[in-house]
Amino acid sequence: MQISELSDRSGLTVQTIKFYIREELLPKGTPSGATRAEYDQDHLERLRLIRALREVGDLPVAAIRRILAAVEDDGIGMHELFGTTQYAIGPHVTPPDDPHWRAAREDVDALIAELGWRVTDRAPARDLLAQTFVALRRLGFPVTLTDLRPYVRAAAEVAEHEIGGVTDGAPRARTVHSMLVSTVLSEQVLTALHRLAQEDASARRFGEFQP
Amino acid sequence: MQISELSDRSGLTVQTIKFYIREELLPKGTPSGATRAEYDQDHLERLRLIRALREVGDLPVAAIRRILAAVEDDGIGMHELFGTTQYAIGPHVTPPDDPHWRAAREDVDALIAELGWRVTDRAPARDLLAQTFVALRRLGFPVTLTDLRPYVRAAAEVAEHEIGGVTDGAPRARTVHSMLVSTVLSEQVLTALHRLAQEDASARRFGEFQP
DNA sequence: TCCTGTTGGATAGCAACAGTATCCAATACT
DNA sequence: AGTATTGGATACTGTTGCTATCCAACAGGA
C-alpha cells in the first residue's frame, strides 16, 4: 500500500505520517522505485499504537520514540521493556535539595521496602509519589503510611491482575503490545474509573436527591 | 508582606506571581499606597495550592482558574465544586462520530448504570473511559465489562475512602482544599502506587533473580 | 531632602511541542 | 503526453507557561 492509502486507513494526514517517520516513530516504507515506497499492515498497526500512546496515554513524541526503540530491540526482555516504558512516561521530577523532599523520599523508600516490592531505586514513580507527599504536607494534609493502605491494596490488586494478563506464548510483537497496553492504557482505565467512582461517592455524600 | 517577601516565602519569582495575578489565579494584594500592595497568609496558601495543582496535578493554568473561581464562590456546594473540578481537569475528548466510539460510549454508560453509580451524563470521565475502550479494541485487545471488575472494585474502594475522608465541620476553606486534594492529588498517589505495584509484579513474573 | 531600590502595570520575548503547509524534482499511472 | 502522487526538505503555525524588560511612581533610609 502507498502512503495515501495508509493515510486513509489510519485517519492521519500524509504529513503527519511523514512527521512520524522523521521522528523515528514509524519505520520507512520499503522503496519500490525512486519516488515510491510500500507500506504494510505493520505500519498500520504501528500507527494505531502511536495514536493510542499519544491520545490516550498523552505521551510526548520523545517518550514514544524511546518506548518503540525498545519494542524494536529483539534482545530486550519483558521486564526491561517495562522499565523502559516506566522511565519514558515519566514525568521526570527533579527533586530539589530540600529536607522536606528528602524526608518524603525516605518515606516512599521505607514504604516500598516494608511492602517488599521489587522496585528499582531509580524508578521515576518513587519521586512522583514523594512529590505528592511534599505537596500534601505543604497544604497541611500530612500523609502517614497507614493512610496509604487502601491505595496500596487497590494498586497491588490491579497490578497483579494486569501483569498476570499479559499475553504469553504469543508472538513477541503481541506480547510487547500487551505489555504496553497493561502499563499505559490500563492506567487510564483506572484513572477514569477512579473519577467516576469519586463522583458517585461525592453524590451520595454531598449531593441532593435527584427527582 | 510585600511581593518580594511573598516571592521569597513561596519560592516563586516576582514575575511568576505577577503572572498568576494577571491570570486571575491569585487575587491582587490590598493596595497600601499607590505603588505598593499588601499580601497575607492566604496569598501564600493560594500559591501553594496553585503549585500543587500545576506540578503534581499537571493542570493547565486555565483549568486551575476555573477551579479556583469555584473555590471562591461561597454559594457553591461541595458536590458542585467536585463536578467543576472534574470537568476542569478534563481531558476533553471530543468523540468523533464513529460507530466504534458510540459503541464504546454505550458500554461505558451501561456499566455505570449497572453499577448504579450516580454520575452525570456529561462527566468527562465517561468519554475518557470510552476513548480507552476504542483504543484497546483497535489494538486488538477487546474489553469486556467483566475484565473491568478488578478496576471497578479498586476504584470504588479508594474513592469511598477518599470522599469519606474529606474534612467536615471545618471552616469552608479547609473543606474545599480537602476536596481538591482528594480529587487531584490523590489521583497522583494512586497512579504512582499503581506504577510501583506494576513494577513489582513485572519483576516477579519476568525479572531475573537479583543477586 | 536627596537617592537608591522596590513596586505595579504593561508589553514583548522565548523555548518547547506537535503538528501543518509548501515546495520541488522525480516518477507513476492512464 | 499529461496529470497526480511521492519522498524529502524546509519553513511556518498556534498554544502554553512562563521570563525579561521597561517605565513612572513612589517608599524608606541617610
Question: Are the beta carbons of B119 and A203 separated by less than 8 Å?
Answer: yes
Residue among B79, B155, B188 whose CB faces A202 most closely: B79
C1’ C20 / CA A28, Å: 20
Mean pLDDT of A20-40: 95
pLDDT for residue B211: 40
Computed over every residue of chain A, the mean pLDDT equals: 95
Alpha-carbon span A137 to B171, nearest angstrom: 19
Alpha carbon of A4: minimum distance to chain B alpha carbons (Å): 20
Chain D positions within 7 A of any protein Cβ atom are 5-10, 16-21, 24-27
Nearest CA in chain B to A93: B55
Alpha-carbon span A72 to A67, nearest angstrom: 9
Grid coordinates representing B1?
A: 508582606
Among A141, A203, A160, A204, which residue's Cα sits nearest to residue B186? A141
* Test the A interface: residue of B202, B205, B208 with most A CBs within 10 Å: B202
Protein residue at shortest CA distance from C1' of C18: A61
Using a CB-CB distance cutoff of 8 angstroms, which residues of chain B are in contact with residue A208?
79
**What are the residues facing B37 on neighbouring strands?**
B31
Grid coordinates representing B159?
A: 474513592
Grid coordinates representing A166?
A: 499479559
C-alpha pair distances (Å), B173 with each of A142, B95, B148, B168, B177: 17, 36, 36, 11, 6
Instruction: Please write the tens of the pLDDT for every residue from A70-81.
Output: 999 999 999 999
Using a CB-CB distance cutoff of 8 angstroms, which residues of chain B are in contact with residue A192?
125, 128-129, 132
> Is the separation of the CB atoms in A90 and A124 below 8 Å?
yes
Residue among B152, B186, B210 whose CB faces A193 most closely: B152
pLDDT for residue A41: 97
Alpha-carbon span B43 to A105, nearest angstrom: 28
Q: For the beta carbon of residue B68, count every other beta carbon within 10 angstroms.
A: 21
Alpha-carbon span B68 to B51, nearest angstrom: 13
Backbone angles phi, psi at A37, to 5 degrees: -145, 150
Cα atoms in the Cβ-side hemisphere of radius 13 Å centred on B65 = 9
Cα atoms in the Cβ-side hemisphere of radius 13 Å centred on A7 = 11
Q: For the beta carbon of residue A102, count every other beta carbon within 10 angstroms.
A: 14
Question: Are the beta carbons of A154 and B157 separated by less than 8 Å?
Answer: yes
Helices and strands, counts by H and E, chain A? 10, 2
Instruction: Name the residues contacting strand D (CB < 7 Å).
Output: A 2-5, 14-15, 18, 21-22, 28-29, 31, 35-37; B 13, 15-16, 18-19, 33-36, 54, 60-62
Mean pLDDT of A86-101: 92
Mean pLDDT of A25-37: 93
Alpha-carbon span A185 to A183, nearest angstrom: 6
Mean pLDDT of A6-17: 97
Alpha carbon of B146: minimum distance to chain A alpha carbons (Å): 12
Give every CB contact of residue A42 below 8 A, 6+ residues apart in sequence.
none
Mean pLDDT of B80-104: 94
C1’ C8 / CA B18, Å: 9
Alpha-carbon span A173 to A171, nearest angstrom: 6
Alpha-carbon span B208 to B40, nearest angstrom: 56
CB crowding A147-170: b at 16 or more within 10 Å, else e? ebebbbebbbbbbbbbbeebeeee
Task: Calculate what percentage of chain A has a pLDDT beyond 90.
Answer: 89
Alpha-carbon span B151 to A78, nearest angstrom: 23
Residue among B120, B128, B199 whose CB faces A192 most closely: B128
In this complex, the nucleotide whose C1' atom is nearest to the CA atom of residue A54 is C18
pLDDT for residue A34: 85
Mean pLDDT of A182-196: 97
Grid coordinates representing A118?
A: 521489587
Mean pLDDT of B155-175: 93
* Test the B interface: residue of A98, A189, A204 with most B CBs within 10 Å: A189
Instruction: Please write the tens of the pLDDT for every residue from B118-164.
Output: 999 999 999 999 999 999 999 999 999 999 999 999 999 999 999 99
CA dihedral B138, B139, B144, B147 (to 10 degrees): -150
C-alpha pair distances (Å), B92 with each of B73, B86, B116, B122, B124: 24, 11, 24, 11, 7
Mean pLDDT of A106-119: 98
SS3 sequence of chain B: CCHHHHHHHHCCCHHHHHHHHHCCCCCCCEECCCCCEECCHHHHHHHHHHHHHHHHCCCCHHHHHHHHHHHHCCCCCHHHHHHHHHHHHCCCCCCCCCHHHHHHHHHHHHHHHHHCCCCCCCCHHHHHHHHHHHHHHHCCCCCCHHHHHHHHHHHHHHHHHHHHCCCCCCCHHHHHHHHHHHHHHHHHHHHHHHHHHHHHHHHHHHCCCCC
C-alpha pair distances (Å), B89 with each of A27, A47, B85: 35, 27, 6
Computed over every residue of chain B, the mean pLDDT equals: 95
Beta strand pairing status for A37-38 and B30-31? unpaired
Instruction: Please write the tens of the pLDDT for every residue from B33-42.
Output: 889 999 999 9
Mean pLDDT of A141-159: 96
Backbone angles phi, psi at B60, to 5 degrees: -70, 155
Whole-model pTM above 0.75? yes
What is the amino acid identity at position B120? T
> Is the separation of the CB atoms in A40 and A167 below 8 Å?
no
B4 is near strand C: CB distance < 7 Å: yes
> Of all helices (H) and strands (E), which one includes residue A31?
strand A30-31
